[in-house]
Amino acid sequence: MFIIMNSPFIFDTKTVNYIIGDGALQQAEKLFAQYSSVFILMDENVEKYCLDVLMNALPDIKVRGYIKIPAGESSKSIEHAIHIWESLTNLGASRDSLLINLGGGVVSDIGGFCASTFKRGLKFINIPTTLLAQVDASIGGKTGIDFLSYKNQVGLFVDPKAVIIDPVFLKTLEYKYWQSGFAEVTKHALIMDKELWKMLGNRRFTEIEEWNSIIQRSAKDKIDIVRYDKTEAGIRKILNFGHTVGHAIETFYLKSGNPITHGQAVAAGIICETWISSKMVELECENVEEVINRIDLNFDRLQFTENDISELMKEMRQDKKIVDGDIKFSLLRKLGKAVHDIGNVDSELIRDSLLFYINNKKCN
């Protein structure tokens, strides 16, 4: 059984060194000693709020250069990848150098991709600075860029040398990004960690004080999944719970010119897919209501309407998880236990789950 620690915990899988919790940065000092040439990739917000925190904690890192990209998902492009490869070249990076990806999921996604393809493999370390990145995006080796309007169309599975997760960075995090990360924390609890579900409690996330323990636990959940199934051949798919409907909603809002956070979309997806779970894999209605109550405590309902459902269904049919036209769902068998590759979910049932969400219905 995993034990929550007050000091940062260090966890070595075969390939990745994880240091997680308050004080993780200081603890990581020795990781950097072997690199005589370090480069830092970040966006402008990270430079403003997080760079000093890093450099104050680890003044001895031999930083040779900084590479900056604009904040936001639109930076995950081939143009910015070219910018990063050019910068690494011009700054004189060699295969003995290290790239630090300091930032949210966009930075670790594109940074991991560019590092691992520079001179056939530059080492990199992720230092996530948002809740979402700390419990999710920085872990698991998925890297990539968006291409031709497809998310992560170009990229690869490649592990960082280390992931250093220090809650100190969250002090300057905006409300909406806390909320966004909270959706993934909630998802981890629901799919595999009943104990975490209890720790989170029936309260608003703004009332939580024990973030150190919660982040340690939630990050460890993700690590445990991905170390057994790096390339999403099986069990890793349970991480997609809430994301089949959620991705469609996220893309729908993005295309409407009124983007919402990933977590807002996933929260809505969790409600829909929890209800689908009750129809497909016998999740009890009592549990459905418990999940919905918690989500509603933390996320306002989105305002799409019945008229938008056909567009949402169309987006869903673009999903990567479609096999021979059949969308494979990851669903909840009970609170803390998900199952994956549930096919033959009728289109009508998916539609009904969106109506269930829109109309704020009760499970029955």
Residues lying near a second copy in the complex (CB under 8 A): 78, 82, 85-86, 89, 113, 116-121, 142-144, 147-148, 150, 152-157, 231, 320
CB of 163 to a second copy, least distance (A): 19
CB of 153 to a second copy, least distance (A): 6
Specify whether 344 is catalytic. Answer: no
Under DSSP, is residue 174 helix (H, G, I), strand (E, B) or coil? coil
Specify whether 83 is catalytic. Answer: no
For residue 296, the number of C-alpha atoms closer than 13 Å in the C-beta half-sphere is 13
Specify whether 184 is catalytic. Answer: yes
Would you say how long the chain is, in residues?
Answer: 364
**Structure-block tokens of residue 191:** 């799919």
Query: Closest CB to a second copy among 164 and 226?
Result: 226
Measured CA to CA in angstroms, residue 276 lies from 79, 235, 311, 342 at distances of: 40, 20, 19, 11
Instruction: Exactly one of 240, 273, 294, 328 is catalytic; name it.
Output: 240
Specify whether 240 is catalytic. Answer: yes
Specify whether 262 is catalytic. Answer: yes
Query: Closest CB to a second copy among 323 and 355?
Result: 323
Specify whether 247 is catalytic. Answer: yes
Q: Residue 19: beta bridge partners?
A: 10, 164
Place of tokens 């409907």: 245
Q: Locate all alpha helices (DSSP H) within 166-319, ordered by sequence.
A: 175-192, 194-200, 211-228, 243-255, 262-280, 285-298, 309-316
Q: Distance between CA 151 and CA 141 in Å, rounded? A: 16
Query: Closest CB to a second copy among 150 and 228?
Result: 150
CB of 143 to a second copy, least distance (A): 8
* String of DSSP letters for 6-50: SSPEEEE-SS-EEEESTTHHHHTHHHHHT-S-EEEEEEHHHHHHT
Specify whether 232 is catalytic. Answer: yes
Specify whether 142 is catalytic. Answer: yes
Instruction: Exactly one of 227, 247, 328, 340 is catalytic; name it.
Output: 247
Burial class (CB in 10 A: 0-12, 13-18, 19+), 351: middle
Query: Closest CB to a second copy among 9 and 113?
Result: 113
Asked whether the beta carbons of 153 and 105 are under 8 A apart, the reply is no
Instruction: Exactly one of 232, 294, 298, 328 is catalytic; name it.
Output: 232
Query: Closest CB to a second copy among 36 and 360?
Result: 36
CB of 252 to a second copy, least distance (A): 21
b/e map of 236-272 (b: 16 or more CB within 10 Å)? bbbbbbbbbbbbbbbbbbbeeeeebbbbbbbbbbbbb
Query: Closest CB to a second copy among 82 and 297?
Result: 82
Instruction: Exactly one of 151, 220, 222, 227 is catalytic; name it.
Output: 222
Q: Which residues are catalytic?
A: 120, 142, 184, 222, 232, 236, 240, 243, 247, 262
